[in-house]
Amino acid sequence: MTDTETRLDTLLAAPAASGPSYAADGRLYFLCDAGGSAQVWELPAGGGAARPRSEHRDAVSFVAGSPADGSAVFGRDQAGDERIQFYHLPERGAPRALTADPKTIHAWGAFSPDGTRLACTANDRNPAHADPCVIDIATGAFTRLLEVEGPHELPGWYPGGSAVILSTAPRTFESNLIGVDLTGRSTDLTPHEGDRRHMNPRWRRDGQGFWLLCDQGSEFLGVAFQHSGGAPRFLFAPEADVEKLEVSPDQTRLAVVVNQDGYSRLHVLEAETGAVLDTPQHPAGVITKLTWHPDGTALAFDLACPTRPSTLWHYRPGEAAAELLFAASEPPAVLRDWQLISFPTFDGRNLPGFLALPEGTAPAGGWPVLVWVHGGPAMQALPNWRPDLQMVLSLGIAVLVPNVRGSTGYGRAYAALDDRELRLDSVRDLAAAHAWLSGQQQFDGQRIGIMGQSYGGWMVLAAVTEYPELWAAGVDYYGIARWKTFFERTGPWRVGHRAAEYGDPVRDMELLERLSPLHKTEEIRCPMLVAQGMTDPRVPPHESEQIVQALKRRNVPVEYLTFPDEGHGFLKRDNRRRVYLGVASFLAQHLRPDRG
């Protein structure tokens, strides 16, 4: 076994614990991938060792503890096809299937207040449309409340369970809330003008209104309260996005997470006024899920950072700091942290990002660099646990993770800078990142590679076709090669939202063809590695196959890795090992100074 294999096995053996959710009896459910893929685990209410409660090869996507007892509901798909099925997990014993339609996507919503039903969306009627539905947990009876058009989410219930809240999201920076009662009658809860976001609704128990995250009149999402039929009244509005909101069981406090330059910051607010009650100390990193203990005395959350997989933390309001609640293992030793940086681009802006350096001093001529580009585009690269990038650093290759224009987390205006005809300006930002790296003595400007996944894969293909002279190597995970064929083959439920972001596949076809790297493959000079999950419903294999075939016709060096049991991402540990080792070998060959 090589040093790289040994190092990678150590990184992959460090399990992550995430997605915590308390049940009514105080037990804490969460996801842990100690067995090779994310499965349901449980921390007993009275203390004791954590234990697994599900056992599948395919990853579990979420788990939610019941508000009525110690049971839970979780969801998983088959081989990454995203057609989520629900399972009821009793307090003791094996899970029981609540849905059994392998052609349907069931998107989790919420338990009813009494815990007897769950609300979700389902696209069984038409693959492009996600209808609000209710499932009786005891009998499995399925009721469609309303037929709608397009993608929707279902974030909650009215008090007493008389209606559900449906969220529409026709565009990335627009989401509206609709009340739908159990007869299918609907009410607009957030009337407004313009494209604005209304998210995370949580009804006050008296039914007079709800807390939510909103950006009406602001660049950023803040915490507001909205009386029925009224306008949002802002309670907490920092100059940054508030990304998470959970109301305490007695509804006197709000737990919120603020995105500060990509790092999560937990605050506890007074529910009526929004005054900050606590800002507990916790490690720098990324929080994805909050959950209140049913008695309101504690708050649990997950937290990941570049040097450690996600762990579970426990905070009691009034205390100075959160405490570690659960870690599946000790973190691997000698890992490299990321530092927040900025670099100039073509229009005078400074763009944010993260930089990680290998251990030791730079070699003569400088470190080679891998530029890692996030997907989306309406997403943000976060200081998260990335064993693949830690592996790259162990090879003596520095890593730059930019948040180019179009990224979220920096306000609405910044996210709109790459819209439609401006799309290639974000690729110019990647060229600016290359120029910034090349201008620093510690980096080797002749050995800079680029890597990305999904839309980030399109960014890689765009970079190596628009600026072919810059890049020494490219790694494309399931990237979009041609927009026309992407829209023809992607899941029907994604077409409307993606068209609003990328361009209409009919009306804007000329623009989309101009933005398709497949038409410019004659420009590609650098060797490429392409990886693809063969059940991917978002970016189907045809996109990767087209680019690989085009490169082979031109005798450009290309490696193609395929995974028959993965979809949009590599979730199983053995598959991650294979693709990460492939990347390590590829980068060592084309970027390492001692290999050239």
Closest CA to 220 of 352, 414, 378, 410: 410
* 140-166: pLDDT as tens digits: 999 999 999 888 899 999 999 999 999
Residues ≥6 apart with Cβ < 8 Å to 5: 581
CA dist., res. 134 & res. 594, Å (int): 60
- Judged by average pLDDT, the poorest of 16-30, 41-55, 394-408, 485-499 is 485-499
The mean pLDDT value for 235-247 works out to: 97
Residues ≥6 apart with Cβ < 8 Å to 374: 380, 381, 401, 403, 407, 452, 456
User: What's the distance, CA 351 to chain centroid?
Assistant: 21
Angle at 485 between CA 432 and CA 553, to 5 degrees: 75
CA dist., res. 269 & res. 249, Å (int): 14
Structure tokens at 221: 């999402």
* 13-33: pLDDT as tens digits: 889 999 999 999 999 999 999
Measured from the Cβ of residue 440, the count of other Cβ atoms closer than 10 Å reads 13
CA dist., res. 431 & res. 425, Å (int): 10
The arrangement of strands across the sheet holding 117-126 comes to 106-111, 117-126, 129-136, 142-144
User: What's the distance, CA 571 to chain centroid?
Assistant: 13
Residues ≥6 apart with Cβ < 8 Å to 218: 234, 237
User: What's the distance, CA 50 to chain centroid?
Assistant: 26
Label the pairing between strands 222-227 and 142-144.
unpaired
pLDDT at 500 over 70: no
DSSP per residue, 285-334: SB---EEE-TTSS-EEEEEEETTEEEEEEEE-TTSSB-EEEE-SSPPPSS
According to DSSP, the residues that pair with 164 across neighbouring strands are 157, 180
Are residues 487 and 495 in contact, defined by beta-carbon separation less than 8 angstroms? Answer: yes
CA dist., res. 247 & res. 271, Å (int): 8
According to DSSP, the residues that pair with 226 across neighbouring strands are 210
For 331, counting Cβ atoms within 10 Å of its Cβ (0-12 exposed, 13-18 middle, 19+ buried), the class is middle
* 312-362: pLDDT as tens digits: 999 999 899 999 999 988 877 779 999 999 999 999 999 999 999 999 999
The mean pLDDT value for 498-507 works out to: 72
Tell me which residue has tokens 């002279």: 469
Tell me which residue has tokens 């030791």: 360
Q: Helices 423-438 and 455-466, interaxial angle, to 10°?
A: 70
> Residue 36: CA atoms inside 13 Å, Cβ hemisphere, count?
9
**Radius of gyration, CA atoms only, the chain:** 24
- CA dihedral over 455, 458, 463, 466, signed as positive or negative: negative
Closest CA to 18 of 279, 326, 338: 326
Q: What is the pLDDT of residue 512?
A: 86
Q: What is the pLDDT of residue 226?
A: 94
Give the chain's mean pLDDT: 93
